A and B are shown apart, each in its own frame.
Chain A
Amino acid sequence: NSETSGSEQETHEIIMTHELPESFFKHEYMEQFKELVEERSDGRLEVTIHPSGQLYTDGEAVQNLGTGSVHMVWPVSVHLEALADEYGVVNLPFSLEDETVLQDQQYREELTGLLDSFVEDNGIKILGLMRTAEGIILTNDREINDMQDLSGLKIRSVGGHVANELLGAYGATAVSMPATEITTSLSQGVIDGVNTSPDGWIDVVGSAASHGFVVPEMQIFTYSLAADKQWFESLPDDLQQIIQETLDELIVDQWEESIEMDKQFLEEVSNDFGEVVRVPEDEVAAWREKAKTVHESFEEKHPDAMKKFNEIRD
């Protein structure tokens, strides 16, 4: 009938935004996404990307999903904790494994579905997860080799309950501090360390930190691909499908590239000004054990979310 054919001809705008410079790989993936969906929809989808926080920072964008001023944003998953505490489940230590995410499509779908269920009442649709980076703890001049070395240190946290509690579990003090003050505070000794990512070491902290410390798979930070739910569901079904399928494709490539980039960044730093200590596989169990308190306190508050999350994983 004429009504559907009319709406099929209609073009739909997708306004996307992110807070990073255009040279970052998240921007490249947004560009790829734009190119693919525009092509696959024969131009019925039209993507506008506002980079560098020109429209919104990621946190602001999440806040504005539903106002019509932005339709899709890919913030670090911590931002979604501001909508639903349960969302923190994906930020728990040792909760994600690179291999599982890469290999298991069903796992990816179920995980996305679970996360989506936490925030659907807030008017947000979660379409998937990308990989931000693996967490690393940077220190100024003292080297960290084992758990005791972390004890008593003041470390700038990435934010969110979970990350703060994790630092606490190892005896460190989580400090909240604006990003602009990190380098200074680290070199002046206001703080002893920074919890960040390998690219954060290169781009933000630089040689203000000379030691990096990684516990394998303790912190796999993710981007949540978040859309305005009402907007998304008002799109014609075929367009929804194009968006979802395109993202599903990109996610796998992106996850692999992110792992590769973490490696490259750390190599770059090692060659230049820093040293990286990686906890050997046989010692990870001890770290896992200590991090249990974080899981327990999360489980106490959100037993349901924890249960469902474990079910998906097993």
Chain B
Amino acid sequence: MEITLFIFILLTLLVLGTHIGVALGSSALVILLIFEGTNLTVISQQAFESINDYALAAIPFFILVGDIVMKGDLAKRLLDLADLILRRIHGGAAIAAMIVSVFFASISGSSVASTTALGKNVVNLLGEKGYPKRFIAGLVATGGTIGLLIPPSLSFILIGSMMGIPIIDLFTAGIVPGILQGVMLILVTWWISRKNRWESEFHNIKVTPKMIGERFKSSSGILFLPVLILGGIYLGIFTPTEAAAVAVFYALLLVIILKKTNMRGVWTMFKGALLQSGMVYLIIIGGALTAFMLQSLGLTQGLINLIAGSGLEAWQFLLITNLLIILLGLFLDGISVIVLVSPLLFPVAIAAGIDPIHFAVILTLNIEIAAVTPPVGLNLFVMSGLTKIPVEDVAKGVGPYYFVLIISLLLVTYFPQLSLVLLK
């Protein structure tokens, strides 16, 4: 009864265009106050504690790194390098863009940050070469999603801090699935370009080692960033959260050395990243209130008992879970989905004998899909904004890539080894 009412209020608020964080939080509040008589102090406390978390500090820092890289034109240098190297194959520039997306995933912690940072440059480069806008938009939107799977990753940080799983283990678990998916996306890009005969007049283009050398030099600064981030984490120089701050300072240093900004510009970038993070945090607060409500109603325990009593096998549970999360992902953004389902599904998954780390990777892949599925997909929105074409058209541009995402999801779901192989 309570849960039905909750869903009804939530849907009404969402349909009327209430901010997602506010919609989540206020529907939960209504239920808590009417049915549970929850103490006021508990509510304010939950709101505070949901963001009072060391690991979450990485969120604004990773958004900031993306901003700095974008404003400093660092992504463009990389893109030019990859484009030059691949100029002599079908769809060279498109493949270059996809490769840079995968590379960029090892710098950026979020898919939106990846998409935003690369978006404008890719649109310019591929636009000049005559690729259709719809395809370009779809490519960048999809490429951005790997940002969550390859470390560093906001999704893993969020799950790790909520569920108490070591973040570095989650990072490690994402590497193989991330690379696997990246390779598939690159191959599909090549296949689409070839089929459409895009950039097929390449036979007489000259590319000399000297040209490559020059571009390599100009992008060496940014090429070193993932080494710093991942090397720093895995060599034990700093924690995953600190890595985010180190990346900020390195990127800042880079753009200051390149004279792309001054102190005023730095301040503006900090401001921009902080305000963008507000979006994530408003959802985290609303999600925490929702999670608290679900727990107060005993829904988590009820669901565990239900699954345990139903005799569902792990694979069936995973199938249902995937469908459920994809359904949620149609309407909610990734952060909201994680915040909403983690407290509910992790205990159930563990009870069903599924490794929580494996489950975190599955959840993250679902979130990736959510970012590019209409009606609500943040990457779609970003690319729609950049290319000035409707969201539906961006989604159509994602077209063939949906297959890759679904296949990755199935592989990761039913081959836990992919996620766990790098962990002892």
Task: Give the interface of A toward B (CB within 8 A).
Answer: 54-57, 60, 63-64, 67-69, 177-181, 183-185, 187-190
Contacts and interface: CB of A to CB of B under 8 A. Distances in A.
A184 B167 contact: yes
11 contacts: A60-B49, A68-B39, A69-B42, A180-B164, A180-B165, A180-B167, A181-B55, A181-B239, A184-B167, A184-B169, A190-B236
A69 B39 contact: yes
B48 to A, nearest CB: 9
Interface residues of B, number: 25
A190 B39 contact: no
Interface of B: 39, 41-42, 45, 49, 54-55, 160-161, 164-169, 233-241, 295
A177 B55 CA distance: 11
Contacts of B41: 64, 67-69
A29 B253 CA distance: 55
A184 B39 contact: no
B168 A188 contact: yes
Q: Which 5 A-B pairs give the minimum distances between C-beta atoms?
A: A188-B236, A189-B236, A69-B39, A184-B168, A67-B41
A55 B42 contact: yes
Contacts of A64: 41-42, 45
Contacts of A55: 42
Contacts of A188: 168, 233-236
Nearest to B160: A180
Given A54-B295, A178-B55, A184 B42 contact: no
Contact of A180 (B39, B49, B166, B233): B166
A190 B234 CA distance: 10
Given A54-B295, A55-B42, A184-B169, A177 B239 contact: yes
A185 B42 contact: no
Nearest to A15: B39
Contacts of B167: 180-181, 184
A190 B45 contact: no
Nearest to A68: B39
B123 to A, nearest CB: 39
Given A64-B45, A181-B55, A190-B236, 12 more contacts: A60-B45, A64-B41, A67-B41, A69-B39, A180-B161, A181-B54, A181-B167, A185-B236, A185-B239, A189-B235, A190-B238, A190-B239
Nearest to A208: B166
Contacts of B161: 180
A154 B168 CA distance: 20
A184 B233 CA distance: 9
A290 to B, nearest CB: 29
Contacts of B238: 190
B157 to A, nearest CB: 10
A57 B164 CA distance: 13
A206 B264 CA distance: 48
B16 to A, nearest CB: 32
Contacts of A56: 45
A190 B232 CA distance: 10
A59 to B, nearest CB: 10
A82 to B, nearest CB: 14
A179 B54 CA distance: 10
Nearest to B48: A60
Given A69-B39, A189-B236, A184 B166 contact: yes
Contacts of B42: 55, 64, 67, 69
Nearest to B295: A54
A178 B157 CA distance: 13
B237 A190 contact: yes
Nearest to A67: B41
A231 to B, nearest CB: 13
Contact of B39 (A63, A67, A183): A67
B54 A178 contact: yes
A68 B236 CA distance: 44
B169 to A, nearest CB: 7
Contacts of B45: 56, 60, 63-64
A189 B237 CA distance: 8
Nearest to A189: B236
A184 B54 CA distance: 15
Contacts of B165: 180
Contacts of B239: 177, 181, 184-185, 190
Contacts of A67: 39, 41-42
Contacts of B166: 180-181, 183-184
Residue of A54, A57, A68, A187 with most chain B CB atoms under a 10 A cut-off: A54
Contacts of A187: 236
A177 B242 CA distance: 11
